[in-house]
Amino acid sequence: MQSCEISADSTDDPLSSGLRRKRQPRIVVIGAGLAGLSAAKALLESGFTDVTILEATDRIGGRVQSVKLGHATFELGATWIHGSHGNPVYHLAEDNGLLEETTDGERSVGRISLYSKNGVAYHLTNNGQRIPKDVVEEFSDLYNEVESCESSSHSMDEVSLSEFGEWTEIPGAHHIIPCGFIKIVEILARSIPESVIQLRKPVKCIHWNQSVSKEIERVADHNSDLPEEDKGSDVFVECEDCEFIPADHVIVTVSLGVLKKRHESLFHPRLPEEKVMAIEKLGINTTDKIFLEFEEPFWSSECNSIQFVWEDEAESESLTYPEELWYKKICSFDVLYPPERYGYVLSGWICGEEALIMEKCDDETVAETCTEMLRKFTGNPNIPKPRRILRSSWGSNPNFRGSYSYTQVGSSGADVEKLAKPLPYAESSKTAPMQVMFSGEATHRKYYSTTHGAVLSGQREAAHLIEMYQDLLQCRS
């Protein structure tokens, strides 16, 4: 092993915290989702040894959450691999044999209907009438293109038309991972030592640019485990359990929803106005899933989806349904296929403010409400209640506060880049660069809202640090 000395002569060195000392830089990653795990994996594989992941919850995966019930795996979060050509998530799945049991119905080259087979979508009205196929075909392509659940917005009126083409689709088929999307998470975490990941470790504040160094030093004086050299760190991560963790670089991977809610208290000093404006302009809302499991199917064997079409035009001008009518925002129920794998299960989607109302209801209420909807639209009053219900609650979860981001009216791709820009902005030679870095799906200009966008954003931030410390890494190789 070759090692080399690093000069400590110059106090003007912009890498003062990381390179001036005879040690590796300390890197703290906040969040153990796809972005955080991808960043940590890339750093460790490149030779960094002082990497810590702080995860607020009791699990890894972030907005990937696979739940196993019986022999089936259901996705409360990320479900689809969107595209294959150059998609890092697809290649991870393919290289590790995760797609071998994928059926034709779990691959799609067009609009994706969750786990659906090649069958018929039933478009039904609330009067129990089926809309003729030729009428459906007139508007279905446009409807599928602008459905608000696809963008996670409350209403398509919130989505920026001028920036609608900013998001880029990766060519190739869409895929589902039969054994669970969580397998991608496990693959990323496989090469990360368990000691690197600290679960149930929520962060209270990131103190950067030595803004409160003296105050923190006073607190640190009571911590006998803190080495003397750490007390002058550029960054300290203050955890909810009162621990102060010194760092040279912090990669923040929390969701845009968390940034919107907590950016004023999460960073000290406060974020620059440019970044605050980007956080406020960009959009994130909630898209939830509702899984209903039945003893027997009440739908025909050819049916792959039940689409709800409300005919009460008097209420159609309102962008938000009254709270008691939240269920009107459920756009459809898809038939999960094949039944040998999933049983007799329907998967419904609901987004926006109505999704948040749904999250406040108990399982019994949601199951009863959905059953009444199905009875009304199918005209079959004998549909039984499901024997089991499973649903997500991304909007009310304080660790996420939404499902995925979109370009809101008034925002642009430039705001995505501003969100991703590391702190501090100043180019002063006396200011250590990239103290606070930003990753996550909302920071990827082309692939926001996707799992591959999250993975690529984590790799992007890791690449910045690898480039910065390339001389140090080469010396220690």
Q: What is the pLDDT of residues 84-107, one digit of tens each?
A: 999 999 999 999 999 988 877 677
Residue 246 has pLDDT above 60, yes or no: yes
Q: What is the pLDDT of residue 374?
A: 96
**pTM of the complete model:** 0.88
Domains of the chain with bracketed CATH = 16-61+184-283+401-475 (3.50.50.60), 110-159+289-391 (3.90.660.10)
3-state secondary structure string across 402-427: CCEEECECCCCHHHHHHHHCCECCCC
Q: What is the pLDDT of residue 18?
A: 44
158 or 460: whose pLDDT is higher?
460
Mean pLDDT on 118-132: 79
| 115: confidence class by pLDDT, cuts 50, 70, 90 | very low
Amino acid 324 reads: E
Amino acid 214 reads: K
348 or 139: whose pLDDT is higher?
348
- How far lies 420's CA from each of 52, 278, 309, 458, in Å? 21, 10, 40, 11
Alpha helices in 267-362 (DSSP H): 273-281, 339-342, 352-360
CB 160 within 8 A of CB 408: yes
Mean pLDDT on 371-391: 96
Q: What is the pLDDT of residue 124?
A: 83
What is the average pLDDT score of the chain? 85
DSSP state of 159: B
Q: What is the pLDDT of residue 168?
A: 87
Residue 464 has pLDDT above 50, yes or no: yes
- How far is it, in rounded angstroms, from Cα 370 to Cα 358? 11
Model confidence pLDDT, tens digit, residues 250-277: 999 999 999 999 999 999 999 999 999 9
Lowest-confidence region among 88-102, 227-241, 391-405: 227-241
280 Ramachandran zone, left/alpha/beta (phi>0; psi -120 to 50): alpha
Q: What is the pLDDT of residue 125?
A: 83
114 or 240: whose pLDDT is higher?
240
Closest CA to 307 of 474, 131, 127: 131
- How far lies 258's CA from each of 141, 404, 412, in Å? 34, 11, 20
Helix count and strand count (H, E) for the chain: 15, 22
Find tokens 């199917």 and name the residue: 297
Q: What is the pLDDT of residue 102?
A: 81
Lowest-confidence region among 80-89, 122-131, 159-168, 349-358: 159-168
Residue 186 has pLDDT above 80, yes or no: yes
Q: What is the pLDDT of residue 477?
A: 61
CB 152 within 8 A of CB 284: yes
Q: What is the pLDDT of residue 233?
A: 81
Closest CA to 250 of 213, 209, 284, 282: 209
Model confidence pLDDT, tens digit, residues 10-48: 334 444 444 444 578 999 999 999 999 999 999 999 999
- How far lies 56's CA from each of 156, 197, 215, 253, 386, in Å? 32, 11, 25, 12, 34
How far is C-alpha 163 from the geometric centre of its chain's CA atoms? 21
Query: 451-468 and 34-45 are packed helices; what angle lies between their axes, rounded to 10 degrees?
Result: 30
- How far lies 292's CA from each of 138, 382, 416, in Å? 30, 16, 37
Model confidence pLDDT, tens digit, residues 282-331: 999 999 999 999 999 999 988 989 999 888 655 555 666 789 999 999 98
- How far is it, in rounded angstroms, from Cα 387 to Cα 272? 52
- How far is it, in rounded angstroms, from Cα 456 to Cα 419? 15
Q: What is the pLDDT of residue 175?
A: 93
Q: What is the pLDDT of residue 218?
A: 58
Model confidence pLDDT, tens digit, residues 337-365: 889 999 999 999 999 999 999 999 999 99
Lowest-confidence region among 103-112, 242-251, 341-350, 440-449: 103-112
Q: What is the pLDDT of residue 131?
A: 81
Q: What is the pLDDT of residue 103?
A: 78
Closest CA to 337 of 290, 305, 298: 305
Query: 451-468 and 88-95 are packed helices; what angle lies between their axes, rounded to 10 degrees?
Result: 100
Residue 65 has pLDDT above 80, yes or no: yes
For the chain, what is the radius of gyration of the CA atoms? 24
